[in-house]
């Protein structure tokens, strides 16, 4: 699934119409959708300090004021998922950081297989990437692969010693992001109702 942006969300809802089911001082029930279809429809239901969204893109409940919506206090709904891309990016960043000081390791290198610093660094990078070369590693295989890593080029390097302390492989789900944008979208429309 492609990355969601505000612009791509707005494309998704460009033909949506709003139906006001309930509007009162502290409560709203607003339905958004394209007439005669259920594709990406959603309802936003509010009560004091609660915002609920339900529809075919997911169901979530937040502790928040609707018209000043803040998604920080999620009460119900799955907002995160494991991202192998995030882990791969973190691995690449750790390799780059480590290689910025690889000359220290090369100075202690006693082998004759890599005669230049550039060859030594290239071999180390290849060593690490070969270890993670399975394209579809899931969350549990990544954990094992990270914990089992050792380099034959630099045997005592501790490339991943603090990996799970500093890094969280969970990223917001597409549906969670979509629903957050949808609540903001609904709040803008509700503000216009209040202004009338």
The pLDDT tens digits of the residues spanning 121-174 come to 888 888 888 887 755 567 777 778 878 788 877 778 888 777 766 666 677 888
- 3-state per-residue secondary structure call for 4-64: CCHHHHHHHCCCCEEEEEEECCCCEEEEEECCCCCCCCEEEEEECCEEEEEECCCCEEECC
Q: What is the pLDDT of residue 166?
A: 64
30 DSSP β-pair partners: 20, 44
Q: What is the pLDDT of residue 9?
A: 83
Q: What is the pLDDT of residue 53?
A: 94
Residue 108 makes CB contacts below 8 A (sequence gap 6+) with none
Q: What is the pLDDT of residue 124?
A: 85
The rounded Cα 136 to chain-centroid distance in angstroms is 17
Residue 67: strand, helix, or coil: coil
Opening angle at CA 74, ends 23 and 168, nearest 5: 150
Both tokens of 194, joined, read: 């209040």
Q: What is the pLDDT of residue 140?
A: 76
Q: What is the pLDDT of residue 136?
A: 59
Q: What is the pLDDT of residue 117?
A: 84
Both tokens of 29, joined, read: 């029930």
Regions of the chain short of the pLDDT cut 70: 1-2, 108-111, 134-137, 164-169, 194-196
Taking the complete model, does pTM exceed 0.75, yes or no? no
């Amino acid at each position: 699934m492609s990355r969601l942006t505000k612009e791509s969300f707005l494309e998704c809802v460009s033909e949506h119409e709003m139906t006001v089911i309930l509007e009162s001082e502290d409560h709203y029930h607003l339905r958004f959708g394209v007439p005669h279809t259920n594709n990406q429809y959603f309802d936003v239901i509010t009560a004091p300090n609660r915002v609920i969204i339900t529809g075919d893109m997911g169901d979530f409940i937040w502790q928040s004021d609707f018209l000043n919506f803040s998604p920080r206090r999620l009460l119900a709904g799955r907002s995160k998922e494991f991202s192998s891309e995030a882990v791969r990016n973190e691995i690449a960043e750790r390799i780059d950081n480590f290689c910025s000081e690889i000359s220290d390791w090369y100075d202690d290198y006693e082998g004759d297989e890599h005669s230049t610093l550039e060859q030594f660094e290239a071999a180390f990078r290849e060593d690490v990437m070969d270890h993670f070369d399975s394209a579809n590693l899931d969350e549990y295989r990544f954990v094992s692969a990270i914990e089992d890593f050792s380099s034959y080029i630099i045997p005592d390097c501790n490339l991943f010693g603090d990996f799970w302390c500093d890094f969280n492989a969970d990223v917001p789900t597409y549906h969670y992001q979509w629903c957050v944008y949808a609540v903001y979208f609904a709040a803008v429309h509700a503000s216009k109702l209040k202004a009338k």
